[in-house]
Structure 1
Amino acid sequence: MTNAVIPTEKTLLLVDDDKPFLTRLARAMETRGFEVLMAESVAEGVAHVKRSAPSFAVVDLRLADGNGLDVIEALHQARPEARAVVLTGYGNIATAVTAVKLGAIDYLAKPADADAVYGALVGDSETRAALPDNPMSADRVRWEHIQRVYELCNRNVSETARRLNMHRRTLQRILAKRAPK
């Protein structure tokens, strides 16, 4: 396998609705040589991409006005060689797979520090991750399966509940909670 080409232009779009985190990460990435653009919403992020698609992006998955994957998709369409990383506090396999299919090169759980973000942006995306020391619990596996079906149903709660043979309200409660350990 060959290493992915790292863009020489170091423009970086950061999209996150957590203003203090966004500001800290922007400062940290500027010290690493990036020219940083910040956005606090999907609409703002997509607008930046349409104006001038950056060579790098770090996008939060859940934003107040929608799904950060929309920014990833717009970036990949505008600049296919761009390297994008998805950040989220609601990590699950289904959204990680979707993010990669839409053009993301990595998927990091929050809170991620600047070194981890930088490593994901400029690191070799071809290398394999190490096996986890602690595998997922049965509750986590169940939660991951529900999330995968939810993503496959285009985040339609009623359709997901029907396919899982589960009451819609029960499913809504599960989706509102954080992932089990």
Structure 2
Amino acid sequence: MTDPVADLAGAEDKSLLIVDDDKAFQQRLARAMEKRGFATDTADGVREAVAKASANPPAYAIVDMRLEDGNGLDVIEAIRQKREDCRAIILTGYGNIATAVTAVKLGAIDYLAKPADPDDILAALERKPEDKAVPPENPMSADRVRWEHIQRVYELCDRNVSETARRLNMHRRTLQRILAKRAPR
């Protein structure tokens, strides 16, 4: 039985699916990963990514969380159903703890905030399960902790804004404004 966490230098299958609806970012990342030895394929949304993963399941995947036609977690789940040893990571500009936990439960090996450097992405793809990620240089601010809590409750309420606002004892419109913004640093 082969080790699914084989060293990239010795791995034969270096197929990589990049799923992101930001076309410019997607193409820059594809070129950067090709320079690092990957055979890249790209998709702009959930439907296209699921179709490509079904036809030819990749060994590696980089998937944006929020896509125009759905959620990147659906792509992770579809890839893992076709190829359990796929090393997939989630990239997002809207990171929160609840979705990170869900991503890992669905089979993602890491969860990175955008903008992510290609070297950071490569490090995440090659990291072995027993290796620990390096702790962050700057811990979360109080605003970020508050935002994370709101996101967690929102996910637990199945993304129902009214129910989340009720549980947080917050006006619905205030919650909608918070959810529409990017995460604070």
State the TM-score, normalizing by the size of structure 1.
0.92
User: Alignment partner of 1:178: what SS?
Assistant: coil
- Structure 1 residue aligned with 2:88: 84
1:18 aligns with 2:22: yes
How many residues end up aligned between the 2 structures? 179
- Structure 2 residue aligned with 1:53: 57
Moved over 4 A (4+): none
User: Alignment partner of 1:28: what SS?
Assistant: helix
1:114 paired residue among 112, 118, 121 = 118
Within 1, Cα distance between the matches of 2:18 and 2:47? 13
State the TM-score, normalizing by the size of structure 2.
0.90
Shift of 1:4: 5.9
Within 1, Cα distance between the matches of 2:73 and 2:174? 26
Unaligned runs of 5+ in 1: none
1:160 aligns with 2:156: no
Whether contact under 8 Å (1:22, 1:38) holds in the other structure is yes
User: Alignment partner of 1:132: what SS?
Assistant: coil
Within 1, Cα distance between the matches of 2:146 and 2:153? 11
1:142 aligns with 2:126: no
Whether contact under 8 Å (2:93, 2:183) holds in the other structure is no
Unaligned runs of 5+ in 2: none
Within 2, Cα distance between the matches of 1:4 and 1:106? 15
Within 2, Cα distance between the matches of 1:93 and 1:15? 21
